[in-house]
Each structure stands twice: as C-alpha cells, then as structure tokens.
C-alpha cells in the first residue's frame, strides 16, 4: 500500500467453545471482544470503531446498535457490511480505510452465534421465499449444499476433477485439526474415509461439508499511531480486495467465483503475487469452495486445482501451500455459519508464530480469503494479504 499509512491487526481472539447451550449470543460477542482487546493489550475505552455482520438469529440490520449497546461502546465509526462468511474479511479492509481516513484509531470486529445449540441444520433444509431471486431458486429446494454440489459436478465435468481430489482437502484439514485441542473433529481422516462417507448432495459427501458450531471471534485493527504505543507483535494489512459474484442474468459459470476479482485487487494493493504467499487461510464451507478459491486466487491455473491439492500440498508445515492449520471450518469451527472470522485469526496466529507447533509454518506473508452466500448463485468474496513484523 505505497504512499499510504499502515494499519495493523493488533489483537485476535477465537472463542474456545463449539457448543454454548448456556450462553447468550450477546455474551459470546462480549467474551470475544474482551479477548481480542486484551490480546492487543488495550482497554475497552480505546475502541473507537465497531464492525459486525450481524447477529444471525436476530436477522437485524440494526445489529451494530444492539451489540455496541450491550458492550457499552462509544464509537465514531460503525459498519455492518454483510455478505455472509466473507463479511469479516471485508471488515478488516473497511477498518483499514476508515483508519487511513482519520475516522478512527482502534476498530473492533466481532462475530458470534449459536446455530448448534439452536439445533439448526444449515445448508440442507427448505427455506422461506423472501426475495425475487428466491422465487426462482428456493422454490426448487436450492440450498447451499445442492448449489455447491452443482458447482462441484460442473467442475468435475469441465476439468476432470475427482471426488478423491476434493477429499484431499478434508484430509489435509483433519491432519491439522488433530493438533487443535478445541477442534470439533480431531480425528484425522483419509481420502477413502471422505469418499466412503454418505453422499449428501452429489457429488458432495458428508465429509466434504463443514461443521455446524457455536462460537465466535474478534479482531482488533489499529492505526500506526496506536500500534506504536503497544508492546504486542502486530500483523500489517498489506492489501484487501472484495467483489460480489452473481447469476450474470443467466450466464452463470459454476466453476468460477468472485475470488478472481477480490484476490487480484488484494495482491495488486499489496504489490505481491500468489507465489509470495507462505500460508493461506481459505474459506471452506465445502471442499469445492477451497478448490475453486485456490484456482481463482491464482495459486494454479483454472482447472488445475484438483492436481494442485494432491499429495499433501495443503498440509503444514511442509506442503506447497499450507492452509487452514486450525482445522478450518471442515474440522474445527464454523461459528454462526460464517467462517471468515476464523480465517483471519489463524492467519494472524501463523504470522505471529502462535499456532499449534506441529503445524506452525515459517510464514512472513499470509492470505485470508472468504466466500459468503453461495457460489451456485450470488456470493461475496473478500481477500486480505497480511505481513508479519519480521518479514
């Protein structure tokens, strides 16, 4: 970001719970906020900007008011950009812009939710018809899983991608999850385990799908000036990009996502290329979500994702592109059905050398990428490129 002041991630916190029957969602918001502020070595009253994509169970556009009131925050800047799981990565970019504009110095981003405790079976149930688009999609029973299933089937048709290649993604994530004491599923699984698991929406199997968990997370983004007062090792936000992908009036291409645009914008702003990246956090609602993102972010040519992920390429610490070293949404955590938050948190842990030692990568430059909505139709994409202090 040449010629512009820098902004840094000074604090992160991931809630350790995966099931919170005895807590309120607002309590989780408060606990992760306290965690991230404490991680940075700051106090609540230092926070002067607040970002959230909402409280999913309330479905309220007023969520910044609800949460800021609950936390007792007095802020000069607030934002509730919501495109699903990519929102929190986009918030990092928006916070950087607000800081550069002099609107704020210390921006807090929080996510919390309790879909597991509320018995929500996401992605596989009939939904209400609410928008014009729903009348042409949801009436057919189009859910996240059938839409991602259609994307996987088309990718296989065009490029020869196999179920075993998709399964490599889950196998690598589960390899990492065994070292994460908080992960929902800590047992390593093989490619065979994945392809032998029940087909949920063909060609996707049960183990191609992410977990449903309670929990949350928080990020604190600070200005150069605020950082200079901190003892904490900080991570610089080098580039950010976002994009909205859509149905293209009937010309949808199920093998391509808006990561093509968000990734390019983030790399251009950072002045870097995919080959510079040492570690990647990639949103993993389903294995196909990761495969298409790897291609669209430019880690390989379009259509070569299946070959790229073979032979442990995604496994830390020695793979070609170590990814999701916390176990990701596939194995560890998918708080409130929105995985973008934990993608940023694990990238920061990698750059600060604070993740589980068995999967710690010698990383100076990392990427976090989120996909929100459905790649089968409307979706958001947001990407950040992050740099460690010693790079």
Interacting residues with another protein (CB under 8 A): 121, 124-130, 132-143, 145-154, 157, 199-204, 247, 249-252, 254, 377
CB 10 within 8 A of CB 224: no
229 phi and psi angles, rounded to 5 deg = -95, 0
Task: Output the smallest distance, CB 214 to another protein, in A.
Answer: 19
Task: Give buried/exposed letters for 89-127 (b at 16+ CB in 10 A, else e).
Answer: bbbbbbbbebbeeeebbbbbbbbbbbbbbeebebbeeee
Q: Are 232 and 10 in contact (CB under 8 A)?
A: yes
- Between 94 and 334, whose beta carbon lies closer to another protein? 334
Say if strands 77-79 and 49-51 run parallel, antiparallel, or are unpaired: parallel
Using the minimum distance from each CB to another protein, give the nearer residue, 21 or 125: 125
> 366 pairs with which residues across the strands?
279, 386
Q: How far is the CB of 351 from another protein (least distance, A)?
A: 37
Decide: 12 and 34 in contact? Cβ < 8 Å: no
- Smallest gap from Cβ 148 to another protein, in A, equals 8
The residue (of 16 and 141) whose beta carbon lies closer to another protein is 141
Is 32 in contact with 218 (CB distance < 8 Å)?
Answer: yes
Hey, CA dihedral for 44, 15, 372, 65, is it positive or negative? negative
Q: State the minimum distance, in angstroms, from the CB of residue 213 to another protein.
A: 18
Question: Between 75 and 201, whose beta carbon lies closer to another protein?
Answer: 201
Residue with Cβ nearer another protein (104 or 212): 212
90: left (phi over 0), alpha (psi -120 to 50) or beta: alpha
Pick between residue 87 and residue 143 the one whose CB is nearest to another protein.
143
Q: Is 245 exposed, middle or buried, given 0-12, 13-18 or 19+ CB atoms closer than 10 A?
A: buried
Q: How far is the CB of 205 from another protein (least distance, A)?
A: 12
Residue 210 CB, nearest approach to another protein (Å): 17
Residue 151 CB, nearest distance to another protein (Å)?
A: 7
Q: Which is nearer to another protein, 155 or 232 (CB)?
A: 155
Q: Is-cis flag, bond preceding 71, omega within 30?
A: no
């Amino acid at each position: 970001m040449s010629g512009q002041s820098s902004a840094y991630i000074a604090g992160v916190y991931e809630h350790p719970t995966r099931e919170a029957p005895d807590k309120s969602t607002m309590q989780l918001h408060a606990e992760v906020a306290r965690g991230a502020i404490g991680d940075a070595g700051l106090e609540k009253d230092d926070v002067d900007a607040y970002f959230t994509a909402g409280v999913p169970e309330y479905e309220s556009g007023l969520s910044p008011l609800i949460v800021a009131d609950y936390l007792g925050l007095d802020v000069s800047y607030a934002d509730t950009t919501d495109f699903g799981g990519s929102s929190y990565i986009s918030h990092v970019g928006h916070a950087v812009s607000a800081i550069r504009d002099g609107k704020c110095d210390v921006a807090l981003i929080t996510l919390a939710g309790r879909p597991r405790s509320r018995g929500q079976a996401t992605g596989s149930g009939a939904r209400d018809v609410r928008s014009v688009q729903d009348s042409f999609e949801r009436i057919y029973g189009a859910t996240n899983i059938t839409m991602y299933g259609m994307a996987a089937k088309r990718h296989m048709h065009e490029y020869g991608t196999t179920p075993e290649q998709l399964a490599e993604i889950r196998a690598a994530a589960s390899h990492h999850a065994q070292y994460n004491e908080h992960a929902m599923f800590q047992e390593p699984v093989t490619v065979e385990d994945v392809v032998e698991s029940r087909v949920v929406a063909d060609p996707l199997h049960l183990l191609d799908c992410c977990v449903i968990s309670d929990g949350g997370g928080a990020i604190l983004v600070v200005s150069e000036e605020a950082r200079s007062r901190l003892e904490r090792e900080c991570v610089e936000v080098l580039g950010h990009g976002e994009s909205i992908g859509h149905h293209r009036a009937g010309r949808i291409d199920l093998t391509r996502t808006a990561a093509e645009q968000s990734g390019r914008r983030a790399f251009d702003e950072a002045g870097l290329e995919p080959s510079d990246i040492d570690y990647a956090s990639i949103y993993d609602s389903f294995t196909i979500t990761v495969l298409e993102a790897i291609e669209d972010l430019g880690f390989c040519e379009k259509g070569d994702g299946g070959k790229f992920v073979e032979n442990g390429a995604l496994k830390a610490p020695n793979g070609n592109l170590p990814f999701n070293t916390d176990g990701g949404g596939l194995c560890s955590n998918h708080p409130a059905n929105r995985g973008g938050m934990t993608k940023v948190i694990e990238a920061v842990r990698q750059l600060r050398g604070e993740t589980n030692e068995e999967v710690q990568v010698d990383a100076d430059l990392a990427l976090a990428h989120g996909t929100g909505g459905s790649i089968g139709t409307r979706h958001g994409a947001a990407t950040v490129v992050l740099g460690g202090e010693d790079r």
